[in-house]
Amino acid sequence: MNRFAGFGVSLILVMLVCSVAVRASAGEWVVIHPVSIVEAEVYVNRLQTTVRLTCFAEDLELLQGVEPLESGKYDSAEIFEATQDHAQYLVEKIRFLNVNGEVIDAEISGVVNPDLPKEGADAGTLMQYTLGFELELKYDKPPEFLTIEQQMVAEGQLLPSELKVLLKQAGSETPYKKMLKPGAPETFRFDWDRPPLSQEDSQEQWDSWFDKQREDTLGIGSYSSVYSFIYINNAEVRHEVLIPLANLAAMIEFERSDPSFLTVEEQSAAAKQIRRFFSVGNPVLIDGVEVQPVFDRIDFYGLDLRDFAVQAEKRKVSMASGRVGIIMRYPAKGRPLKVDVAWDKFNEETIRSVDAVAFPYNEVKQVSFSMFLENNVYSWEASDAPELPAVTNVDLDDPRYHVEPATVAIPVVSAACFLLGVIASCVCLARGGGGGVLLGSATLLGVAGLLSADTAQVEVQSPFEPPGRLAISETTANTIFLQLHRNLFRSFDYSEESQVYDTLARSVSGPLLRKLYLQINDSLRISEQGGAVSKIEDVQLLSGQQQAEPFVENGFQYRCKWNIVGTIEHWGHIHERTNQYDAMFEVKVVDGAWKIVAMDLLDQPQGVVKTRLRKF
């Protein structure tokens, strides 16, 4: 039997059990429904919520144990008394929770009894009458969140009770509609500055409203949905799952002292259970090899946290509205060529489908997983994935980076002429000023030396410069330093520490290598994101100049100012920070190549983190 045929049979069975007939005293068959259906109109104002509940009087038979008398009729007095009891039952079983998961007390402000005939209703006819109840909830300030859950479960009931919610926020005529079953709470969020628009507003206005809501919630707007984000890069595949705690509780039995909450102490044990649960199934294959997950984080969140990349302060969370963020890494031995990510963690009641978003490098792909689909695997193959950037040596024998020691040019002919002229002048002076021929010769040699200054020359070490002084032009110094500086930060595109070290060693020498690795790595950490290391997106050189002093043997000093734009991404949104640096570098020739051998960080003002959403 195929899946669709099986579904059809199941649907027929459901229809049969939903229509159960009982024989009334008059001998007729009357249809009753073995499931309680309650309709709730919820009107949320700034300081008060009004709830109007409507249900069939048949619920008194299903949930309050009312039975017809031997006469075949219901006792009207018993019906009225049971109606009052049912009001209290609904207050206990339909709960309204605040942002912290605490119950907001509901007061019964009105009861509408069923309009029964004076002689009493016939057995099996309570479906023809309705009950009405009005509840009031009060609070001190306008709520941002309201969670509704119901636990209307009667012993022996064939199907779970249903709560149909029609919720309106004051200031808006557009309602939210939800169907709630036991154990499946729903959370509603309210924007009191921008309530939902009306049906008469334009599509453009609605698009703007939805964009603002998405921005406020960082794209995580549903509080009962499972979110899946799949990242692929040169170093790893990362799978991030955000899942309601209530959904997990349907598949994992969490031990807790209070059924409504999970305490901080209980969260540690729950995290271990979640790790075991996600260690099996949802396989990830990299180049055809299944890779086991490394769990980076398992965090528990309340409703008031929007940014799940932030490791929030630990506190107890509500089972009805809490969520769990799980980050699993699957390390790659090299640049992945093929990746397969599967989802098989379905549950008939709470997780029938999962909408995922995949980010292979800079692409964005929407993915749907569903228990009704045959294939629940997201597959990706490398095509135009970027290669890791090249980090090149800055060799002295490269014409772009070649320099010579500081020398002076001596014209050979001029020097000989001047030397002979000096000798002739000295001989002339030794003779007491005589020797006109010698004096004339000395003068001619001096003139000849001047005229031949641009002829053949020889380069010799300058006697006016210390040993090791290099003749480096401003242009050459800029070329050398910019390549070294570029190499520094390209090294951090690699993920493994050994790879970063190897590439850094091409541009850095001596004790500075370890120091610089730690210093740059630390500067890339974003404390607001739990200390995660950001990815370098851009290095912007602001200014740079070779420094004349102090003297550096076989090298030079260079002062530079630059910006680093770093990003870190989780849950479909990107945190970007731009940090500015001002530092003095010492650059020298080491083993035939230019290397940075010292760095003095002069200033490092902390940048501001900006957040932007991925478009999907």
| Phi, psi for residue 228 in degrees, rounded to 5 | -130, 130
- Which pLDDT tens digit goes with each residue over 30-78? 444 556 789 999 999 999 999 999 999 888 888 888 899 988 899 888 9
Picking from 331, 341, 343, 337, the residue whose alpha carbon sits closest to that of residue 293 is: 331
Dihedral of alpha carbons 554, 557, 563, 568, sign: positive
Spell out the long-range contacts of 7-13 with Cβ–Cβ below 8 A and sequence spacing 24 or more.
Answer: none
Q: Is 433 helix (H, G, I), strand (E, B) or coil?
A: coil
Tally of CA atoms within 13 A in the half-sphere of 35 that contains its CB: 16
226 close to 351: Cβ distance less than 8 angstroms: yes
Give the span between the Cα atoms of 574 and 196, in whole angstroms.
27
Domain boundaries, the chain: 35-195, 227-381, 407-461, 470-613
Q: What pLDDT sits at residue 451? A: 53
User: 């209070």: which residue's tokens?
Assistant: 258
DSSP line for 125-168: -GGG-EEEEEEEEE-SS--SEEEEEE----TT-SS--EEEEEEE
Q: What pLDDT sits at residue 11? A: 35
Q: Is 447 helix (H, G, I), strand (E, B) or coil?
A: helix
Helix (H) or strand (E) holding 588: strand 573-590
User: 């009931």: which residue's tokens?
Assistant: 157
Give the span between the Cα atoms of 464 and 484, in whole angstroms.
30
| Burial grade of 257 (CB within 10 A; 0-12, 13-18, 19 or more) | exposed
Q: What pLDDT sits at residue 389? A: 65
Mean pLDDT by 10 residues, the chain (616 residues): 40 38 42 71 96 92 87 90 93 95 95 86 88 95 95 69 94 91 92 87 86 79 90 90 93 94 95 96 95 93 79 87 94 89 91 92 90 94 70 80 63 57 61 55 55 53 58 87 86 76 84 82 59 72 87 87 85 83 90 89 80 75
Quick one: CA torsion of 395, 396, 397, 402, rounded to 10 degrees?
130
Query: What are the b/e assignments for 458-482, b being 16+ CB within 10 Å?
Result: eeeeeeeeeeebbebeeebbbbbbe
**DSSP 8-state code for residue 67:** -
Q: Which CATH number fits domain 470-613: 1.25.40, 3.40.50, 1.10.8, 3.10.450?
A: 3.10.450
Amino acid present at 203: Q
Number of Cβ within a 10 Å radius of residue 215: 13
| Phi, psi for residue 520 in degrees, rounded to 5 | -70, -40
Q: What pLDDT sits at residue 433? A: 54
Model pTM score: 0.76
DSSP line for 194-231: S----TTS-HHHHHHHHHHHHHHTTT---SSS-EEEEE
336 close to 237: Cβ distance less than 8 angstroms: yes
Give the span between the Cα atoms of 302 and 116, in whole angstroms.
46
Give the span between the Cα atoms of 212 and 529, in whole angstroms.
23
Q: What pLDDT sits at residue 14? A: 37
Q: Which two tokens stand for residue 604?
A: 């490092």
Q: Which two tokens stand for residue 18?
A: 């939903």
Q: What pLDDT sits at residue 573? A: 80
Helix (H) or strand (E) holding 580: strand 573-590
**DSSP 8-state code for residue 25:** T
**DSSP 8-state code for residue 493:** G
